[in-house]
Structure 1
């Protein structure tokens, strides 16, 4: 049998952006030159998170140590690059474990096989590719036409599968005592599938690594990444708790074996894979998991945690989820708490950092066995918003007011439809005025956040600009709905008032318009004098 080799330390496989241009670099180059590299490419956000969590961050933390104090963290920021004196000996020591096709292949179980020696197309590892019951829209491939991956593509897909793989039934490994009928059932998604991942992004890759390094006062001695553990080379798995941060970041939620072969030109490619059940987390540890915000569970069921990870909602821009991200001040909002990493930014000296936040998540369907949507966004985040003060107050007010404007716009649509003799459109059908308004407000809010990031002292001017822009856009968003009402809507009609029994409520286009404009002014705190002044200024 021909021997294949692809060592991640030397081969180019990590997608980065350098000098504004995308390229791939080896693991050694990426870490040694992290301070010179803009950052990881976000062209495939699931792979971006997987490469950071499963490889780059745990190598950095294991080789250089997890920061154990604010002073240590700030010292590393002052140095501004990875300590090569610690990194290179570490990578040399573990070099053999980073060969994708070695005797102990990276991230895989070398002896993995099913009872019938079955394998599947490599597309099984790609969330957005058709395989089995997972049939995304707008794909030209299926299992009869599987892709052929280079080793670089295959390792990134494998890492993403460890983080985000779908749930439900998996093939059973031949030596797994928990297999029934050749299958394992009850498999959860990959650990990141339960999270609304929030990744702080710095000005270069080293800053990103540091921003994603939680301060841990006393790391558990038994904690280590998967390449320093004597992993079973078979399909045996267990349900357990994470031993610590490094164990959690490199969690092996699936047992995988990539099958290399030569293409027609003699190059190594991967077309087939064996994938079976992997380790299951007993509980996502709130005091360890660094990349998600949390919501309080008011009445947890027996065995349920008191806090659950916040998930990103499909169709919502990242800034609409800022409230839990900013819940870093104890006691300010007990319903939410921010991620460990964002909370930490309030304790270290980074006031001059132009922070970006990458949010990534997966929306699953049909018992989490299929992928319905991949959610990704990036927004600027003013560091001043993490402290109690005017910037924080403004950012939270903007998010709340935007949601209230959305509800007001949708209620206008409901009232106009009732005035015309119809019924309101269900909340999940069609693009209503309030939902259309959120798309327009998106660019305004992003511009506001970027401005507050550069000049937080101009908070009052930013608030005035927000109110003026939001007021104008809210009125403009209502124009199509008002222009489309039939003549009968101006005469209106009466309905039973559900809020007041034995009373009638009149619905008329003019009343609906007046109510909406009044609601917009009330939400934004706009007085008639403000409107007159804005009109005078053009």
Structure 2
């Protein structure tokens, strides 16, 4: 059976000059300046490839950046050192073999259970039926696993190391922690507890550069990626702190073996339908001093032995722009309990030093996972991508003030819209307020309708940061239009009971006029008078 080399075989989907192709590691890095970016449908796999492969190879082959000047020099060159990358990958070709019998990439050779049992490869792919999950939206069951190509299997393998569930894992021969044929107490993959934030640039080269942390202290001698460890991984796993950034990025949270089979029905003649998946290494202690891809929030009263901070996770159904408080907290400030992801704080410093241009086409990808029962299933993957003006990362910039003001005003208007809905509900005799976790609240509809406007505002500020004041006025005018477009249908269809309400004798009781008057007052308080905004915008 032919092997599959991750160095040269196509397995990383990218957008190259508008065409989607699959490339190997060498091509992705050497020609990163010609690639628009990763082109994966699954954001979990995209983040896994970036963290588990591309960034560590780049750090190993081209060296760790220790100063802003080091970073600027590499940025200005505009390409990665293809000779060093090729030399590194050539010397380690056997370490990037997906189906090696001695050291398969990110796997354990010969991993097996006492009864040589295997599981369907769908166990690695959350969107596919596996185990006892009912395949409501899938025509497959566990007895009929899908055929994954070697490329798809490699991507799923890496994603599992990052995001796998915390369910009971199969016990394997050689694991001293196995009890009754299984291993319990497993945590989710290390990224499962984070709100991942990935800065994106105009090309893959820019994206990789924006994700390369500057390490003033350099690299610890024992910090290395998983494929460069002195001995191949075995079934025995450990509970330990990471040795450094490379160790953390390539953390092996599971012990896995892909089982390839000859398959003439698929291109290349090899497919993967079965897998062995067992418990892997568990992180000990906090990683906030190393982790570059999440924001952190201070814990007011941490328990004994617990870290003073916890990662900021993304909320389901919440657009990324509503979390600007965490994304823009790039400079430590007394009393501020949130700090931005290290990479955004680093970008702020590079912009302040004039290394990053003010009109940089910066975007951020936010990815998070919501787990279900005892974190044994994945309920939802939260993903969003928004433009982010790089000038907004600076503490005293006008762009930052405007962006934060827009998010704050939108939140105030969301609350006002919910209050309007509750008042009309009470006026119509519908009883108590709509519970926050049931039904569709008017404020949530409003925020959804705000999102296209906010995206346009952010994109405009990225291109023209000098127009921040004008952009804020335009936002106030359009936001008022959007809120009336959202609430007018509800006001227009209010029934006769809503005009007088359940208590007609009360001066400010729940009724249609009171609800509308309250909303108008809030609009003026939050956005200012519409006539004044339009006049100032015309004069700007």
Q: TM-score, normalised by structure 2?
A: 0.94
Q: Which residue of 2 aligns with 1:365?
A: 372
How far apart are 1:28 and its partner, in Å? 1.3
In the alignment, is residue 391 of structure 1 matched against residue 390 of structure 2? no
Change beyond 3 A, Cα 1:181–1:495: farther
The equivalent position to 1:15 in structure 2, one of 5, 13, 16, is 13
Q: Which residue of 2 aligns with 1:235?
A: 235
Q: Which residue of 2 aligns with 1:500?
A: none
Contact preservation (8 Å) 2:145, 2:273: yes
Provide the rounded CA distance (Å) in 2 between the counterparts of 1:419 and 1:277: 56
1:209 partner SS = helix
Q: Which residue of 2 aligns with 1:415?
A: 423
How far apart are 1:14 and its partner, in Å? 0.8
Q: Which residue of 2 aligns with 1:88?
A: 86
Q: Which residue of 2 aligns with 1:244?
A: 244
The equivalent position to 2:337 in structure 1, one of 326, 335, 338, is 335
Q: Which residue of 1 aligns with 2:276?
A: 274
1:323 partner SS = helix
1:269 partner SS = strand
How far apart are 1:159 and its partner, in Å? 0.3
Change beyond 3 A, Cα 1:42–1:461: farther
Change beyond 3 A, Cα 1:64–1:531: closer
Provide the rounded CA distance (Å) in 2 between the counterparts of 1:149 and 1:230: 31
Change beyond 3 A, Cα 1:484–1:333: farther
Query: Cα RMSD over matched residues?
Result: 2.0
Provide the rounded CA distance (Å) in 1 between the counterparts of 2:188 and 2:360: 35
The equivalent position to 1:61 in structure 2, one of 56, 59, 62, is 59
Provide the rounded CA distance (Å) in 1 between the counterparts of 2:153 and 2:335: 43
Correspondences of 1:26-37 after superposition (within 5 Å): 26-37=24-35
Provide the rounded CA distance (Å) in 2 between the counterparts of 1:341 and 1:231: 32
Q: Which residue of 2 aligns with 1:209?
A: 208
Unaligned stretches of 5+ in structure 1? 497-502
Provide the rounded CA distance (Å) in 2 between the counterparts of 1:245 and 1:196: 18
Provide the rounded CA distance (Å) in 2 between the counterparts of 1:507 and 1:484: 16
The equivalent position to 2:46 in structure 1, one of 29, 48, 65, is 48
Q: Which residue of 1 aligns with 2:408?
A: 400
How far apart are 1:329 and its partner, in Å? 1.8
Greater shift, 419-428 or 435-444, is seen at 419-428
Provide the rounded CA distance (Å) in 2 between the counterparts of 1:231 and 1:312: 37
How far apart are 1:303 and its partner, in Å? 2.2
**Residues 431-470 of structure 1, C-alpha deviation per residue, up to 9 Å, x if partnerless?**
2221111111000000000000000000111001000000
**Residues 67-91 of structure 1, C-alpha deviation per residue, up to 9 Å, x if partnerless?**
0000000000011111123211111
Q: Which residue of 2 aligns with 1:523?
A: 526
The equivalent position to 1:507 in structure 2, one of 498, 501, 510, is 510
Q: Which residue of 2 aligns with 1:292?
A: 294
Provide the rounded CA distance (Å) in 2 between the counterparts of 1:205 and 1:528: 43
Contact preservation (8 Å) 2:256, 2:275: yes
Contact preservation (8 Å) 1:474, 1:520: no
Contact preservation (8 Å) 2:477, 2:534: no
Contact preservation (8 Å) 1:226, 1:247: yes
2:383 partner SS = strand
Q: Which residue of 1 aligns with 2:319?
A: 317
Change beyond 3 A, Cα 1:137–1:469: farther
Contact preservation (8 Å) 2:477, 2:530: no
Provide the rounded CA distance (Å) in 2 between the counterparts of 1:532 and 1:181: 72
1:91 partner SS = helix
How far apart are 1:144 and its partner, in Å? 2.2
1:257 partner SS = strand
**Residues 212-263 of structure 1, C-alpha deviation per residue, up to 9 Å, x if partnerless?**
0000012211100001003444311000000000000000000000001111
Change beyond 3 A, Cα 1:489–1:532: farther
1:375 partner SS = strand
Provide the rounded CA distance (Å) in 2 between the counterparts of 1:240 and 1:535: 58
How far apart are 1:332 and its partner, in Å? 6.4
How far apart are 1:296 and its partner, in Å? 1.2
How far apart are 1:495 and its partner, in Å? 11
Q: Which residue of 1 aligns with 2:477?
A: 468
Contact preservation (8 Å) 2:103, 2:232: no
Contact preservation (8 Å) 1:19, 1:38: yes
In the alignment, is residue 142 of structure 1 matched against residue 141 of structure 2? yes
Greater shift, 11-20 or 331-340, is seen at 331-340
Contact preservation (8 Å) 2:253, 2:280: yes
Contact preservation (8 Å) 2:33, 2:206: yes
Change beyond 3 A, Cα 1:135–1:310: farther
How far apart are 1:147 and its partner, in Å? 0.4
Q: TM-score, normalised by structure 1?
A: 0.95
Greater shift, 466-475 or 348-357, is seen at 348-357
Q: Which residue of 1 aligns with 2:468?
A: 459
Contact preservation (8 Å) 2:167, 2:377: no
How far apart are 1:299 and its partner, in Å? 1.3
- Aligned residue pair count: 528
In the alignment, is residue 438 of structure 1 matched against residue 444 of structure 2? no
Contact preservation (8 Å) 1:494, 1:505: no
Contact preservation (8 Å) 1:391, 1:452: yes
Change beyond 3 A, Cα 1:136–1:338: farther
Contact preservation (8 Å) 1:112, 1:233: no
**Residues 254-304 of structure 1, C-alpha deviation per residue, up to 9 Å, x if partnerless?**
000000111145801111000000000013411110111111111112222
Change beyond 3 A, Cα 1:212–1:531: closer
1:255 partner SS = strand
Change beyond 3 A, Cα 1:82–1:136: farther
